[in-house]
Structure 1
């Protein structure tokens, strides 16, 4: 069993990565249904929370059925991060996570996300401000370093553990790499092997199949893995990894009936949470991934992204089930380069 403060997780837990405009409550719900052990919200601007920005506040929404769940915040100002931690406290998540890994320009130019990797003293100050301001266990998600010449994850891990974090998730790329090239898990393994480190270390980056998850588990010795892009439109990745770990065999791909059940849940919960128009509109980005692999699906997909009512979308989904009943899906390959999102 893995412990993060008072949160108990199974041995080798599977974590859903925090992804901007992806990891909302409806998406987290379908990932939880399919085996994710710990989920994180989309990352939330500390300044946005303090300004009472509507979008930032909405990201604080969590639901009992998805627990354990962590709320992730980012920022570059100690006072703002401390105040944000206090605000997060009020909605009672299971933990507070700090993003020191997001590589995108709009975050980095504010001195937040991966920018903090250039100043470990500042990272320590920001982390300490959060730890002191919340009763929740604090965790961190970060990267190996700013660039290839400044990989400093070992110092980061030691110093953040020393100021009180309860777990560390490490993405195996530098900020300069963004999401390009292959993730390098060797430094993650060295952090895990460091005798000074006694908190859980989770690896993140490029896990897109059960086989790779098990291979990385054995090779790098991490306490668990965090999955981001491979779960977009395919929440079954969690159950497939767990099945492969338990049996050494591949779980059968989800049938068209199973896929449509999940699409409907995701859609209807999106509408319930966001409202009819935004719920339908924002769901449109997911259909392609959910239905990937079906031959001649273009016509149906075009209908799904143009219909404007739940009833009409449900009717299209009924057509898809009838048309592809019994279709044998191949084990899914993930085109990671075409799954864009913002995360650490």
Structure 2
């Protein structure tokens, strides 16, 4: 059972990936890549991608709506060294959808097939192509089409998130549909995604489906230990990797140090804020929340580190 970590904007940057690598996921993704920016030779996008130092277990994901930009981006990423590249048809965010990208690609079946055909005939056989989808968008409600397309073009895997675009992240992921799709005849890996927050629940979803792997997303934020916990449940039937307060604090400080080294103190002090409360979720209390709020509003990196260290 493979454990993947999903591409997430503002989350799976180089610094957090270095934290995650210590827990040995089968595969990691960089943040999502904007095909338009990559095709325009945007230096910020290229600089972040070039920080990747492990192409064996790190891939990337492209979103876009222009055929030439998407194909060019895949070619450029291949030249940069990426061995696994994913086409995003799952992002539900309105700012992505309005440009025809992400889940908005789902109804454009002929367009997507044309892109996959070109990619399979342009890229090296050693470069693995995959797709990530949702189960529906507006009038499109036939995710089986993309499973068949993945089979037809012998894709590395198809990842299915069990929500429609309209749900964004509301309600619950429909794992009945994910399970049904995973049980259909196929020659490509099937990866399940959506509402993967709690190890025992994840194991139950695995047991009820015919998955080759799971792709963790929001559930990994501030909780890299979930990777070890899923493996332990599969292999031993019980969880032994339960971090104590000191381990969580140490991991947060390491994460902050990595951010500072890679993005500078000002950016690091801001970007770590989205992780602080998730890291300490197992120890939630009113008193701790007050302390964490003080850490979050502190802008000076040195002071921030001192406040975290004093917890």
Tell me the TM-score range normalised by the shorter chain.
over 0.9
Give the alignment partner of residue 224 of structure 1, picking from 195, 198, 213.
Answer: 213
Q: Deviations over 1:252-292 (max 9, x none)?
A: 53111111221122111111111221122111121111122
Equivalence map 1:245-264=2 (5 Å): 245-264=234-253
In structure 1, list runs of 5 or more residues that go unmatched.
Answer: 1-11, 321-344
Matched-pair contact (CA < 8 Å) for 1:131–1:164: no
Matched-pair contact (CA < 8 Å) for 1:29–1:66: no
In the alignment, which residue of structure 2 is the partner of 1:42?
A: 31
Q: Deviations over 1:141-163 (max 9, x none)?
A: 1111214x632111111123313
Change (3 A) 1:100 1:28: same
Deviates more, 1:65-74 or 1:115-124: 65-74
In the alignment, which residue of structure 1 is the partner of 2:49?
A: 60
Between the two proteins, the alignment pairs up a number of residues equal to: 307
Give the alignment partner of residue 165 of structure 1, picking from 155, 178, 191.
Answer: 155
Matched-pair contact (CA < 8 Å) for 2:150–2:188: no
Query: Is residue 301 from structure 1 mapped to residue 292 from structure 2 by the alignment?
Result: yes
In the alignment, which residue of structure 2 is the partner of 1:137?
A: 128
1:134 Cα deviation from its structure 2 partner: 2.5
Give the alignment partner of residue 137 of structure 2, picking from 116, 140, 146.
Answer: 146
**Alpha carbon RMSD of aligned pairs, Å?**
1.8
Q: How does the TM-score come out when normalised to structure 1?
A: 0.84
Matched-pair contact (CA < 8 Å) for 2:134–2:143: yes
Q: How does the TM-score come out when normalised to structure 2?
A: 0.92
- For 1:172 and 1:139, locate their aligned partners in 2 and report how far apart those are by CA, in whole Å: 17
Q: Deviations over 1:71-103 (max 9, x none)?
A: 110111111111111110122123111101111
In the alignment, which residue of structure 2 is the partner of 1:185?
A: 175
Give the alignment partner of residue 32 of structure 1, picking from 16, 21, 24.
Answer: 21
Equivalence map 1:1-344=2 (5 Å): 12-64=1-53, 67-135=56-124, 136-147=127-138, 150-195=140-185, 197-292=186-281, 293-295=283-285, 296-320=287-311
- For 2:179 and 2:284, locate their aligned partners in 1 and report how far apart those are by CA, in whole Å: 38
Change (3 A) 1:230 1:165: same
In structure 2, list runs of 5 or more residues that go unmatched.
Answer: none
Q: Secondary structure at the match of 1:97?
A: strand
Q: Secondary structure at the match of 1:110?
A: coil
Matched-pair contact (CA < 8 Å) for 2:225–2:241: no
Change (3 A) 1:132 1:304: farther
- For 2:17 and 2:40, locate their aligned partners in 1 and report how far apart those are by CA, in whole Å: 26
Change (3 A) 1:88 1:33: same
Matched-pair contact (CA < 8 Å) for 1:62–1:93: no
Q: Secondary structure at the match of 1:14?
A: strand
Matched-pair contact (CA < 8 Å) for 2:35–2:62: yes
Matched-pair contact (CA < 8 Å) for 2:135–2:141: yes
Deviates more, 1:217-226 or 1:118-127: 118-127
- For 2:308 and 2:95, locate their aligned partners in 1 and report how far apart those are by CA, in whole Å: 37
Matched-pair contact (CA < 8 Å) for 1:74–1:112: yes
Matched-pair contact (CA < 8 Å) for 1:98–1:140: yes
1:57 Cα deviation from its structure 2 partner: 2.1
1:70 Cα deviation from its structure 2 partner: 0.7
- For 1:169 and 1:22, locate their aligned partners in 2 and report how far apart those are by CA, in whole Å: 19
Matched-pair contact (CA < 8 Å) for 2:266–2:301: no
